[in-house]
C-alpha cells in the first residue's frame, strides 16, 4: 500500500483480522479486492457507498426495532467491503455445519420419540423437560423424512486465533437470509469490478432450494402442492423478509386469518374459493400457531392447525417444538449429540459454556460476571443478555439478581475477542476494524444445502461485540471463493482449517 | 367396583356459535387399578370425532363444529371396573433419591405449581426429613390440608394462582390437589396431578363434576393416590381419566369458537355403582 492507500492507518491490534495478517500484510484471498479498492480511491468508494445506501432505502429493505420510540423501521446498514472466505475454509465449515444439523435433527426425533439420549444420561433429562420450547403436544408425531428443522441459521464466530466456533444454533425461525441475498445484489451493482476473476460462488439459488425443500414435505401426492409463507404481520421485525421470500418463491404470503381448518385440513381463503394448503413455511412462533393448543390469546394463529399437523395433513417448516434444541443450555450438549448419534468427533467446536443449571457453573457465573457474557437461554436477537466487560456495577448486580432467581434460565460464556474486518465509517471517512460474525443458512430436506457463505454481521457501534441488527449491527456481502484459487491462498486456508479442526 | 359414569356437558348460546374447536379428556384410563369395559361419546351437533393418546397417555378426543349452532352437547358414558389395591408400607424419604431424575418432570416447577415459595411453611406443615416415613408424611399432609381449606365452588376460577387460593383457603378439588403437589414436590417427592371421577355414594365431595387428586411415587409400589379434598387415599371409588404435571395437562374440556355470545353451561355427572 502506498501512502495514499485506502487502508492507511488500519491495524489489526492483536485481534484476528479477516483481511490482514498480524504484520499488516493483506491475506492472499483479499489481495485482488484490496488492489481494486486502492485503485478506486476513497472518494469514488464513498460515492458508490452512498448510492448503495440509497438503493436499500428505495427498495424498502428494512427491519423493525422493538421498543424504539423513534419510528420502528430502519434500513440495515450495508458495508460494501466484502468478507471473503477461501474455498478450503468453507469446505471445513460446510462439513461441520452439516454434521451439526444432522445431529440436531436426530436429537429432536429422539426427544419427541423414545428419548434414548435422555435414558442414557448423555443429555440431562431435566434440561430437556424444563426447556420452555419443549413441546409435549407434538410428542410422538410422525414428520415427513423425520425432519424437525428445515431452515437453520447457526451463528459462527472466530476467536483471536481465527478458529471458527459455533456460538448458537437458530432452529425455530432464523431470519436474515433476505439481507444475504439483497447484499449480493447491491454489491454487484455498487462495485461490479471487484468480482472480476475472483470466482465468487453464487448465492441466489437459495429461494429455489428453499422451495424444493418445502415441496418435498407436501403430504398430498399432487403435481403442484400449495405452499404458503405464514407471517405474524407487518409489525414483525422480519416482515420484509417474509414478503421477500414469498415473492421470490412465487407463493402466497398469508396471515393466520387467511387460513382456516375444517375436515382436518388447512385451507386458504382465495378470491376463487378455498384452496387446500400442503406446506406452511411459518415465521410465527410455536406459542402463537394455534390458539386452541397453545396461547389462547393469540390472534396470529389458526385454530385446529395442530391437529391437522399431527394427522399429517399439513407440513410445517420448521417443525413445532424444534426450539428445544436451540435452548442455550441444551446447546452446550451439541458436541455430545454429535458423538452420540453420528459416532463422529465434532468438526466445529462450541464456545465453552457455563450452565446456571449446574451448581459449579452458577457459582462461576456469580463470582466472575464482569468477565463473562451471560445470556437468557430462550431469547434471541441479542435481547436478555449481559456483556460483563461492557457493563457497569449496577447493571451487573441487577442482571445477576435475575440469574440467581432462575439459574436454569441462564448460561455464561467467556468474552470472545471476535475477529474483525475493515468497515467503512462515513463519519470519519476511514476504514475501521469492526467485530464480525457469520450466520450461514442451512437448508435441510432429503439432502442438505448450504448457500456458500452466509450473512456476515458487523458490530458497527465502535468496540461493540454485539452484532445483532436489533442492537445496532450492520452487514456485509460474504464471498466464498471457488476451488481454483492461487496456490498460495489454498495452502494457507488448508493450514487454517487444520488448526480449526483440531481444536475443541 | 363396577362404576357407571354418565357425564353431560351442555353449552347454550344466546346467539349462533360456529367454527367451534374442542378437545376432551373424559375417557377413563386403562391401568392396573382399573379396567374400562366401555366408553361412548355422543355429540350434538353430531360431527366426526378423532382421538389420540397425548404425551401423558390420556385419551384426547377432538372435534370441530363448523356450522352454526346454539347448543353444544357432549355426552359420555363409561363402564369401568376399579380394583382394590393393596396398601403400601411406609418408606424413608431417602429411597426416592435414585428415582428423582427419571421423574424430574413431577418434581420441578410447572405452570400452575410454581416452586419458588416455601409451601410447607406457608401451609403450616413441617419439612420432610430424609429418614422420615414419607407415606405417613403424605397421609398427615393430606388430612392437614383437608382441615385447613374449605370446599366451596365459585370462589376460585380455573386460572386462580395457587398462592391466592392458599392465602384465601377456599376453593375446589383442583386447588387442593395443586396445593398438596406443591408441598410434595418441594420435599422431593415426585407427584402428579390426576383428573377423574369419584363415586358419590361414599359421601365424597367433588362428585357433581369431574374430580381432581394427586399421585405420589412409591418405588417398588407405583403411584399412590391422595385425595385431600376428601381426606383419604385413593380407593375403589376413584376413577382416573389421566394425569399430568398440573391441571393444564389434563383439562376435561378445552374449546375455542366464534360467535355465541355469553354462554350458559350445564354439567351433569353421575357415577353409579352397578351390582
Residue A276, pLDDT above cutoff 90: yes
For residue B256, give the nearest of A124, A126, A291 by CB distance.
A291
Residue A501, pLDDT above cutoff 80: no
Residue B126, pLDDT above cutoff 50: yes
User: For chain B, what percent of residues have pLDDT higher than 90?
Assistant: 89
Contacts of B50 in chain A (CB under 8 A): 264, 307, 311
Residue B217, pLDDT above cutoff 90: yes
CA distance A217 to B50: 24
Contacts of A141 in chain B (CB under 8 A): none
Domains of chain A, residue spans: 1-138+148-197+330-347+417-496, 354-414
Chain mean pLDDT for chain A: 89
Residue A468, pLDDT above cutoff 90: no
Residue A295, pLDDT above cutoff 90: no
For B152-192, how does the pLDDT look when each residue is reduced to its tens digit (9 = 90+)? 999 999 889 999 999 999 999 999 999 999 999 999 999 99
| 3-state SS, one letter per residue, for A9-73 | CCCCCCCCECCECCCCCECHHHHHHHHHHHHHCHHHHHHHHHHHHHHHHHHCCEEECCCCCCCCE
What is the arithmetic mean of pLDDT over A280-304?
A: 91
Question: What 8-state DSSP symbol labels residue B133?
Answer: B
Asked if A43 and A445 count as a contact pair (C-beta separation under 8 A), the reply is no
Residue A466, pLDDT above cutoff 90: no
By mean pLDDT, which of A249-263, A478-492, B175-189 is the weakest? A478-492
Residue B53, pLDDT above cutoff 70: yes
CATH number of B2-83+251-273: 2.60.40.2250
Show Cβ contacts of residue B34 under 8 Å, excluding neighbours closer than 6 positions: B28, B80, B81, B82, B83, B239, B240
For A134-151, how does the pLDDT look when each residue is reduced to its tens digit (9 = 90+)? 999 999 999 999 999 999
Contacts of A125 in chain B (CB under 8 A): 101-102, 104
Nearest CA in chain B to A298: B256
Contacts of A261 in chain B (CB under 8 A): 21, 64
Residue A120 is predicted with a pLDDT of 95
Chain A: give the shortest CA distance to residue B116, in Å.
Answer: 9
CA distance A86 to A488: 11
Q: Who wins on pLDDT, A8 or A42?
A: A42
Q: Which of B209, B211, B210, B208 is nearest to B226 (CA)?
A: B211
CA distance B25 to B213: 16
Q: Which of B45, B55, B249 would best serve as a mutation to test chain A binding (most A beta carbons within 10 A)?
A: B55
Residue A500, pLDDT above cutoff 80: no
Asked if B171 and B151 count as a contact pair (C-beta separation under 8 A), the reply is yes
Q: How far is CA A77 from CA A51, A149, A299, B137, in A?
A: 13, 29, 33, 64
Contacts of B104 in chain A (CB under 8 A): 125-126, 129-130
For residue B64, give the nearest of A137, A262, A311 by CB distance.
A262
- Tell me if B55 and A140 make a contact (CB, 8 A cut-off): yes
Report the predicted TM-score, pTM, of the whole model to 2 decimal places: 0.90
Distance from the Cα of residue A493 to its chain's centroid:
24
User: For chain B, what percent of residues have pLDDT higher than 70?
Assistant: 99
Answer whether B51 touches A (CB < 8 Å). Answer: no
Asked if A374 and A411 count as a contact pair (C-beta separation under 8 A), the reply is yes
- Tell me if B55 and A136 make a contact (CB, 8 A cut-off): yes
For residue A126, give the nearest of B21, B66, B104 by CB distance.
B104
Q: Where are the beta strands (DSSP E) in A239-278?
A: 252-254, 259-262, 265-270, 273-276
Answer whether B158 touches A (CB < 8 Å). Answer: no
* pLDDT range class, residue A382, cuts 50, 70, 90: low
CA distance A480 to A200: 6
**In a 10 Å sphere around its CB, with 0-12 CB exposed, 13-18 middle and 19+ buried, how is residue A417 labelled?**
middle
For A150-208, how does the pLDDT look when each residue is reduced to its tens digit (9 = 90+)? 999 999 999 999 999 999 999 999 999 999 999 999 999 999 999 999 999 999 999 99
Asked if A329 and A361 count as a contact pair (C-beta separation under 8 A), the reply is no
A63-A65-A66-A69 Cα dihedral, nearest 10 degrees: -130
Contacts of A262 in chain B (CB under 8 A): 64, 66
Its sign, for the CA torsion A38, A42, A44, A50, is positive
Residue B65, pLDDT above cutoff 80: yes
CA distance B107 to A439: 38
Chain A: give the shortest CA distance to residue B105, in Å.
Answer: 6
Residue A108, pLDDT above cutoff 50: yes
Answer whether B67 touches A (CB < 8 Å). Answer: no
B93-249: CATH topology: C8orf32 fold (3.10.620)
What is the arithmetic mean of pLDDT over A261-269?
A: 95
Beta-carbon pairs below 8 A across chains A and B:
48
One-character DSSP codes across B164-226: HHHHH-EE-HHHHHHHHHHHHHHTT--EEEEEEEE-GGG--TTTTS-EEEEEEEETTTEEEEE
One-character DSSP codes across B10-70: EEEEEEEEEEEEEEE--SPPPBTTEEEEEEEEEEES----EEEE-TTS-EEEEEEE-S-EE
Domains of chain B, residue spans: 2-83+251-273, 93-249
Of the candidate CATH numbers 3.40.50.1220, 2.10.69.10, 3.30.110.40, 3.30.1490.270, the domain formed by A354-414 belongs to 3.30.1490.270
Contacts of B109 in chain A (CB under 8 A): 130
- Tell me if B64 and A291 make a contact (CB, 8 A cut-off): no
What is the arithmetic mean of pLDDT over B119-143?
A: 96
Contacts of B190 in chain A (CB under 8 A): none
Name the phi and psi angles at B267, rounded to 5: -125, 130
Answer whether B101 touches A (CB < 8 Å). Answer: yes
Residue A498, pLDDT above cutoff 50: no
Amino acid at each position: 500500500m502506498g501512502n495514499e492507500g485506502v487502508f492507511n492507518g488500519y491495524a489489526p491490534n492483536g485481534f484476528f483480522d479477516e483481511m490482514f495478517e498480524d504484520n499488516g500484510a493483506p491475506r492472499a484471498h483479499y489481495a485482488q479486492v484490496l488492489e481494486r479498492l486502492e485503485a478506486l480511491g476513497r472518494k469514488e468508494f464513498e460515492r458508490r457507498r452512498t448510492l448503495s445506501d440509497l438503493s436499500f432505502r428505495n427498495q424498502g429493505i428494512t427491519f423493525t426495532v422493538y421498543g424504539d420510540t423513534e419510528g420502528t423501521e430502519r434500513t440495515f446498514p450495508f458495508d460494501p467491503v466484502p468478507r471473503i472466505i477461501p474455498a478450503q475454509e468453507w469446505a471445513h465449515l460446510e462439513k461441520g455445519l452439516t454434521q451439526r444439523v444432522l445431529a440436531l435433527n436426530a436429537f429432536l426425533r429422539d426427544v419427541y420419540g423414545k428419548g434414548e439420549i435422555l435414558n442414557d444420561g448423555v443429555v440431562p433429562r431435566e434440561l430437556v423437560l424444563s426447556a420452555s420450547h419443549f413441546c409435549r403436544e407434538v410428542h410422538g408425531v410422525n414428520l415427513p423424512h423425520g425432519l424437525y428443522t428445515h431452515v437453520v441459521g447457526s451463528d459462527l464466530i472466530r476467536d483471536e486465533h481465527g478458529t471458527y466456533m459455533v456460538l448458537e444454533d437458530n432452529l425455530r425461525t432464523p431470519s436474515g437470509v433476505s439481507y444475504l441475498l439483497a447484499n449480493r445484489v447491491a454489491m454487484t451493482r455498487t462495485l461490479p469490478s471487484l468480482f472480476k476473476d475472483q470466482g465468487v460462488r453464487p448465492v441466489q439459488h437459495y429461494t429455489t432450494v428453499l422451495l424444493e425443500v418445502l415441496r418435498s414435505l407436501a403430504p398430498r401426492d399432487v403435481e403442484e402442492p400449495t405452499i404458503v409463507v405464514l407471517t405474524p404481520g407487518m409489525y414483525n421485525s422480519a416482515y420484509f423478509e417474509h414478503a421477500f421470500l414469498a415473492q421470490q418463491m412465487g407463493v402466497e404470503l398469508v396471515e393466520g386469518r387467511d387460513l382456516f381448518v375444517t375436515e382436518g385440513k388447512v385451507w386458504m381463503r382465495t378470491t376463487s374459493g378455498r384452496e387446500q394448503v400442503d406446506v406452511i413455511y411459518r415465521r410465527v412462533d410455536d406459542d402463537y400457531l394455534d390458539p386452541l393448543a397453545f396461547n389462547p390469546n393469540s390472534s396470529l394463529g389458526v385454530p385446529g392447525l395442530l391437529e391437522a399437523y399431527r394427522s399429517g395433513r399439513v407440513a410445517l417448516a420448521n417443525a413445532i417444538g424444534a426450539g428445544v434444541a436451540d435452548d442455550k443450555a441444551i446447546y452446550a450438549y451439541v458436541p455430545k449429540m454429535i458423538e452420540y448419534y453420528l459416532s463422529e468427533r465434532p468438526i466445529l467446536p462450541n464456545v465453552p459454556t457455563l450452565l446456571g443449571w449446574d451448581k459449579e457453573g452458577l457459582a462461576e457465573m456469580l463470582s466472575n460476571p464482569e468477565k463473562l457474557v451471560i445470556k437468557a437461554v430462550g431469547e434471541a436477537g441479542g435481547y436478555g443478555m449481559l456483556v460483563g466487560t461492557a457493563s457497569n456495577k449496577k447493571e451487573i448486580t441487577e442482571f445477576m439478581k435475575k440469574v440467581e432467581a432462575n439459574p436454569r434460565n441462564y448460561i455464561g460464556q467467556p468474552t470472545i475477542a471476535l475477529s474483525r474486518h475493515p468497515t467503512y465509517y462515513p463519519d470519519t471517512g476511514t476504514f475501521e476494524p469492526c467485530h464480525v460474525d457469520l450466520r450461514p443458512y442451512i437448508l435441510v430436506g432429503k439432502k442438505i444445502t448450504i448457500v456458500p457463505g452466509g450473512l456476515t454481521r458487523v458490530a458497527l457501534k465502535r468496540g461493540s461485540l454485539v452484532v445483532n441488527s436489533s442492537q445496532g449491527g450492520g452487514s456485509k456481502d460474504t464471498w466464498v471463493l471457488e476451488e481454483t484459487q492461487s496456490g498460495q491462498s489454498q495452502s494457507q486456508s488448508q493450514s487454517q482449517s487444520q488448526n480449526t479442526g483440531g481444536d475443541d | 367396583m363396577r362404576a357407571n359414569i354418565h357425564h353431560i356437558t351442555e353449552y347454550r348460546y344466546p346467539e349462533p356459535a360456529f367454527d367451534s374447536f374442542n378437545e376432551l379428556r373424559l375417557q377413563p384410563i386403562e391401568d392396573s387399578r382399573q379396567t374400562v369395559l366401555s366408553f361412548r361419546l355422543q355429540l350434538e351437533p353430531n360431527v366426526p370425532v378423532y382421538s389420540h393418546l397425548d404425551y401423558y397417555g390420556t385419551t384426547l378426543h377432538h372435534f370441530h363444529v363448523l356450522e352454526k349452532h346454539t347448543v353444544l352437547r357432549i355426552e359420555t358414558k363409561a363402564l369401568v371396573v376399579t380394583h382394590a389395591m393393596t396398601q403400601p408400607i411406609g418408606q424413608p424419604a431417602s429411597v426416592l433419591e435414585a428415582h428423582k431424575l427419571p421423574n424430574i418432570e413431577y418434581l420441578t416447577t410447572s405452570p400452575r405449581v410454581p416452586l419458588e415459595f416455601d409451601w410447607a411453611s406457608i401451609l403450616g406443615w413441617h419439612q420432610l426429613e430424609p429418614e422420615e416415613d414419607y407415606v405417613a408424611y403424605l397421609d398427615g399432609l393430606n388430612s392437614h390440608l383437608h382441615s385447613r381449606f374449605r370446599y366451596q365452588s365459585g370462589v376460585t376460577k380455573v386460572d386462580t394462582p395457587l398462592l391466592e387460593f392458599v392465602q384465601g383457603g377456599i376453593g375446589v378439588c383442583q386447588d387442593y390437589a395443586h396445593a398438596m403437589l406443591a408441598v410434595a414436590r418441594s420435599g422431593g417427592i415426585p407427584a402428579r396431578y390426576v383428573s377423574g371421577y369419584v363415586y358419590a355414594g361414599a359421601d365424597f365431595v367433588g362428585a357433581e363434576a369431574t374430580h381432581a387428586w394427586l399421585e405420589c411415587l412409591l418405588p417398588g409400589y407405583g403411584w399412590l393416590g391422595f385425595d385431600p379434598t376428601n381426606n383419604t387415599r385413593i380407593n375403589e371409588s376413584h376413577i382416573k381419566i389421566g394425569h399430568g404435571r398440573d391441571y393444564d395437562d389434563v383439562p376435561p374440556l378445552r374449546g375455542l369458537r366464534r360467535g355465541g355470545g355469553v354462554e350458559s353451561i350445564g354439567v351433569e355427572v353421575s357415577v353409579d355403582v352397578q351390582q
